[in-house]
Amino acid sequence: MLELRDVDTYYGNIQALKGVSLRVAEGEVITLIGANGAGKSTTLMSICGIVPPRDGEILFRGQPIQDRSPDEIVALGISQVPEGRRIFPQLTVAENLDMGAFLRRDKDGIKQDLDYIYGLFPILAERRNQAGGTLSGGEQQMLAISRALMARPQLLLLDEPSLGLAPLIVKRIFEIVQRINADSNTTIFLVEQNANLALKAAHRGYVMENGRITLEDRAENLLANEAVQKAYLGL
Of 82, 178, 86, 97, nearest to 140 by C-alpha is 86
Whole-angstrom distance, CA of residue 76 vs CA of residue 13:
30
By CB under 6 A, name the one of 11, 63, 226, 234 that touches ligand ATP: 11
Nearer to ligand ATP, 82 or 100 (CB): 82
Nearer to ligand ATP, 40 or 152 (CB): 40
HEC string of 42-107 equals HHHHHHCCCCCCCEEEEEECCEECCCCCHHHHHHHCEEEECCCCCCCCCCEHHHHHHHHCCCCCCH
Site for ligand ATP in 30-69 (CB under 6 A): 34, 36-42
- Closest approach, Cβ 159 to ligand ATP, in A, equals 7
Whole-angstrom distance, CA of residue 9 vs CA of residue 50:
11
# residues contacting ligand ATP (CB under 6 A): 12
- Closest approach, Cβ 14 to ligand ATP, in A, equals 5
Stretch that binds ligand ATP, among 11-19, 64-72, 93-101, 182-190 (CB under 6 A): 11-19
Decide: is 14 part of the binding site for ligand ATP (CB under 6 A).
yes
- Closest approach, Cβ 65 to ligand ATP, in A, equals 19
Stretch that binds ligand ATP, among 29-37, 60-68, 133-141, 218-226 (CB under 6 A): 29-37
By CB under 6 A, name the one of 21, 130, 193, 229 that touches ligand ATP: 193
Whole-angstrom distance, CA of residue 93 vs CA of residue 132:
5
Nearer to ligand ATP, 38 or 74 (CB): 38
Separation of CA 205 from chain center: 14
Q: Are 12 and 51 in contact (CB under 8 A)?
A: no
- Closest approach, Cβ 185 to ligand ATP, in A, equals 27
By CB under 6 A, name the one of 7, 16, 97, 165 that touches ligand ATP: 16
DSSP assignment of 116-158: HHHHH-HHHHHTTTSBGGGS-HHHHHHHHHHHHHTT--SEEEE
Of 215, 183, 188, nearest to 201 by C-alpha is 188
- Closest approach, Cβ 116 to ligand ATP, in A, equals 30
Nearer to ligand ATP, 30 or 150 (CB): 30
Nearer to ligand ATP, 14 or 168 (CB): 14
Whole-angstrom distance, CA of residue 56 vs CA of residue 31:
21
Residue 200, SS3? helix
Q: Which residues bind ligand ATP (CB under 6 A)?
A: 11, 14, 16, 34, 36-42, 193
